[in-house]
Amino acid sequence: MKRIGKVLLLVVLLVGAGFGYVQYKKSAVEHSVMDYLINEEKIPKDDILYSEPFIANLRGDKNWMVCIKLKNDPKTYYYYKHKGDVILESYIENGEEHVQ
């Protein structure tokens, strides 16, 4: 009985660690993108209507992306972070994707 409890605890810890890692990566990329937009691109924080980190199912750093929607801009932007730089991967305008 004690062995089952230890195995169950180990499984819960592994699942929790995996979930925590995913949340950390998404949060870190979102923070970097927001910092880039506000400090480098000089976009006022109030002009950023929507910021959503997500897993893109792409290779490497592109797997961790952030969707950005700006006030008075019809485009939806998708950014990722690679080697410390924030990179615009693509944007959608009028339902058409434009890859950079």
Question: What DSSP letter does each residue of 39-82 carry, written as one string?
Answer: IIS---GGGEEEEEEEE---SGGGGEEEEEEETT---EEEEEEE
Dump the DSSP string for 12-28: HHHHHHHHHHHHHHHHH
Residue 9 confidence (pLDDT): 87
Residue 54 confidence (pLDDT): 97
Does 41 or 100 have the greater pLDDT score?
Answer: 41
Q: Look up the domain containing 21 and give its range.
A: 2-99
Residue 67 confidence (pLDDT): 97
Number of domain units in the chain: 1
Per residue in 17-76, pLDDT (tens digit) is 989 999 999 999 999 999 999 999 999 999 999 999 999 988 998 999 999 999 999 999
> Tokens 């062995």 sit at which residue?
3
- Check whether 1 has a pLDDT greater than 80: no
- Check whether 7 has a pLDDT greater than 90: no
pLDDT category at 3 given cuts 50, 70, 90 is confident
What's this model's pTM, rounded to 2 decimal places?
A: 0.84
